[in-house]
Amino acid sequence: VLVKFTVHPDGSISNPSIFRRPSKNEAVNQEALRLVNALPNFRVKYYIPHLKKSFTCYLPITFKEPGAIFIRGDKSN
């Protein structure tokens, strides 16, 4: 799941949404959004302080099945 969200100059996060590759399982999509909302505030530093603006971040989140081991894209037991 690829989640898109906005980081403000004070480090707060807003507008999380599924950007691309939504899961077929809606519970997984909701959990990804919950995880992004639970992130702590970012510590934002700017090279030019008078040009403080919000910026967009993209965060890929991968969920794996419990007990399943994936090595190089192949399933193994």
- Domain boundaries defined on the chain: 2-76
What is the tens place of the pLDDT at every residue in 39-62?
A: 999 988 888 877 888 999 999 998
Give the per-residue pLDDT at 70.
61
Give the per-residue pLDDT at 17.
94
pLDDT at 69 over 80: no
pLDDT at 74 over 60: no
1-18: average pLDDT: 93
Report the number of secondary-structure helices (H) and strands (E) in the chain. Answer: 1, 5
| Residue among 4, 20, 2, 10 nearest 56 (CA) | 4
Rounded to whole angstroms, the Cα distance separating 49 from 55 reads: 14
